[in-house]
């Protein structure tokens, strides 16, 4: 927090002018720091008498650990719909909350309206006991400042001991800021979450050292315990139309919504439209294609089976296909019903992103390629011979 030395302060008001968030007012010739303060420190630098001091941790830990109870999920809501990862987080959140015998809540930010309300109900159907719905026109489009302040305010008010968010572009962008405001730690890109019931610790497992070891991280001293999880790593619960829960309208302090940025327009980018994480069938190509034209062949196979095209990093790095198609540690994690890997060796970093697929088919001319270790069906041979035969067979079966 910002501490004011009442004895040395000369009441000049320079801090009021310096604050970019209009968070400081003067009362009895002394500055009063309001809730809109982001701890940016501009007032500290501007104070001519050195009477202001930034003391982050003291502000960010109200009460002891015992006042923090419950599991909260940040429910990402964009372009009128919930991000699938929100429901996946509720799936794992439900298990954690049940282990701790506490409620599971969801924080939903966006502009109020029928789609927003439907999203709130959907969160209940998928496992939430409570939904804190912050509906405000200023939250219609993602803005780091507004989202950070609103989610921080929700967390401070309801004090969950665990906060989970998706490791999406939005989650990665503002969840670290929320953790900083709360003085909490944050474990990014978790692949496993569990509870150590004795001390209510969240066991946060994630790959470390280039994926060579799995590290389990705990934050024993500070609440909330915060983690992000990549899409498609956790499983959502089947919706239950009979589930009961409470939707609480969270009243946002207007002062929290003053942003220096202004969103002029929000468009769905090509990258989002690729959406390999939502496909049931993926046909994935690697360096073994040997040529960007190989993806035309894979597109034909994908069309024949009603799937989408994905790729290894080697194919993306070669410029044969755009990054949103990349599967793996530095790409997307996918879990389709069927994953057909063509000319992909099966490096650890690739397998990390597709091993949860229900059925894996590998086509590779090297019988010793590691991809066969994770494949359910392996076809050893030249993909340029095998894939056209597969396409022909599919059309033949359909009588086309």
Ligand X SMILES: Cc1cc2nc3c(=O)[nH]c(=O)nc-3n(C[C@H](O)[C@H](O)[C@H](O)COP(=O)(O)OP(=O)(O)OC[C@H]3O[C@@H](n4cnc5c(N)ncnc54)[C@H](O)[C@@H]3O)c2cc1C
What does the binding site for ligand X look like in residue numbers (CB under 6 A)? 210, 286-288, 290, 312-315, 326-331, 343-345, 347, 349-350, 353, 363-366, 369, 382-384
- Closest approach, Cβ 230 to ligand X, in A, equals 11
β-pair partners for 203: 194
CA distance 282 to 309: 6
H/E stretch holding 226: strand 225-229
- Residue 228 near residue 188, CB atoms below 8 Å: yes
- Closest approach, Cβ 268 to ligand X, in A, equals 24
Backbone φ and ψ of 51, nearest 5°: -95, -5
- Closest approach, Cβ 127 to ligand X, in A, equals 30
Residue keyed to tokens 């993806």:
295
- Closest approach, Cβ 103 to ligand X, in A, equals 36
Identify which of residues 179 and 354 has a Cβ nearer to ligand X in the complex: 354
- Residue 290 near residue 315, CB atoms below 8 Å: no
Identify which of residues 27 and 213 has a Cβ nearer to ligand X in the complex: 213
Instruction: Using DSSP bridges, classify how beta strands 192-196 and 201-208 pair: parallel, antiparallel or unpaired.
Output: antiparallel
Identify which of residues 193 and 344 has a Cβ nearer to ligand X in the complex: 344
Burial of residue 270, with CB atoms counted within 10 A of its CB: 0-12 exposed, 13-18 middle, 19 or more buried: exposed
β-pair partners for 32: 25
- Closest approach, Cβ 332 to ligand X, in A, equals 8
- Closest approach, Cβ 355 to ligand X, in A, equals 12
CA distance 397 to 400: 8
Identify which of residues 257 and 276 has a Cβ nearer to ligand X in the complex: 276
Instruction: Using DSSP bridges, classify how beta strands 225-229 and 186-190 pair: parallel, antiparallel or unpaired.
Output: parallel
- Closest approach, Cβ 378 to ligand X, in A, equals 11
- Closest approach, Cβ 321 to ligand X, in A, equals 11
Identify which of residues 120 and 362 has a Cβ nearer to ligand X in the complex: 362
- Residue 343 near residue 309, CB atoms below 8 Å: no
Backbone φ and ψ of 331, nearest 5°: -120, -140
Identify which of residues 254 and 291 has a Cβ nearer to ligand X in the complex: 291
- Closest approach, Cβ 340 to ligand X, in A, equals 12
- Residue 312 near residue 286, CB atoms below 8 Å: yes
- C-alpha torsion sign, points 38, 42, 48, 53: positive
Identify which of residues 97 and 379 has a Cβ nearer to ligand X in the complex: 379
Omega before 224 cis (within 30°)? Answer: yes
CA distance 321 to 312: 10
- C-alpha torsion sign, points 36, 39, 44, 50: positive
Identify which of residues 286 and 307 has a Cβ nearer to ligand X in the complex: 286
Identify which of residues 208 and 255 has a Cβ nearer to ligand X in the complex: 208
- Residue 325 near residue 299, CB atoms below 8 Å: no
Identify which of residues 71 and 383 has a Cβ nearer to ligand X in the complex: 383
- Closest approach, Cβ 327 to ligand X, in A, equals 6
What end-to-end distance do the CA atoms of the chain give, in Å? 70
């Amino acid at each position: 927090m910002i501490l004011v030395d009442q004895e040395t302060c000369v009441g000049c008001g320079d801090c009021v002018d310096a604050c970019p968030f209009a968070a400081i007012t003067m009362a009895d010739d002394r500055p009063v720091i309001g809730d809109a303060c982001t701890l940016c420190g501009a007032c500290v630098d501007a104070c001519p008498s050195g009477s202001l001091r930034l003391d982050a941790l003291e502000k960010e830990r109200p009460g002891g650990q015992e006042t923090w109870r419950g599991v909260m999920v940040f429910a990402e809501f964009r372009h009128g719909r919930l991000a699938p990862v929100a429901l996946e987080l509720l799936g794992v959140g439900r298990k954690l909350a049940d282990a701790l015998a506490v409620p599971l809540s969801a924080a939903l930010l966006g502009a109020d309206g029928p789609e927003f309300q439907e999203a709130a109900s959907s969160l209940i159907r998928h496992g939430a006991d409570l939904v804190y719905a912050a509906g405000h026109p200023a939250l219609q489009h993602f803005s780091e400042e507004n989202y950070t302040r609103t989610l921080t305010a929700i967390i401070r008010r309801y004090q969950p001991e665990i906060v989970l968010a998706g490791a999406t572009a939005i989650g990665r962008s503002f969840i670290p800021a929320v953790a900083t405001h709360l003085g909490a730690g944050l474990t990014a890109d978790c692949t496993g979450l569990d509870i150590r019931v004795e001390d209510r610790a969240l066991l946060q497992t994630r790959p470390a050292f280039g994926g060579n070891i799995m590290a389990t991280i705990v934050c024993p001293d500070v609440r909330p315990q915060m983690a992000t999880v990549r899409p498609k790593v956790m499983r959502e619960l089947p919706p239950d139309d009979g589930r009961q829960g409470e939707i609480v309208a969270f009243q946002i302090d207007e002062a929290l919504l003053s942003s220096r940025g202004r969103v002029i327009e929000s468009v769905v980018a090509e990258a989002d439209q690729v959406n390999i994480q939502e496909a049931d069938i993926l046909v994935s190509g690697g360096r073994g294609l040997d040529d960007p034209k190989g993806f035309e062949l894979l597109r034909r196979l994908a069309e024949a089976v009603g799937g989408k095209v994905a790729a290894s990093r080697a194919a993306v790095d070669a410029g044969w296909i755009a990054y949103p198609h990349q599967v793996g540690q530095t790409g997307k994690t996918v879990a389709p019903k069927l994953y057909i890997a063509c000319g992909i060796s099966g490096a650890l970093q690739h397998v990390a992103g597709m091993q949860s697929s229900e059925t894996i088919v590998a086509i590779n001319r090297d019988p010793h390629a590691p991809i066969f270790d994770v494949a359910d069906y392996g076809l050893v041979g030249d993909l340029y011979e095998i894939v056209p035969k597969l396409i022909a067979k599919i059309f033949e079966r359909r009588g086309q």
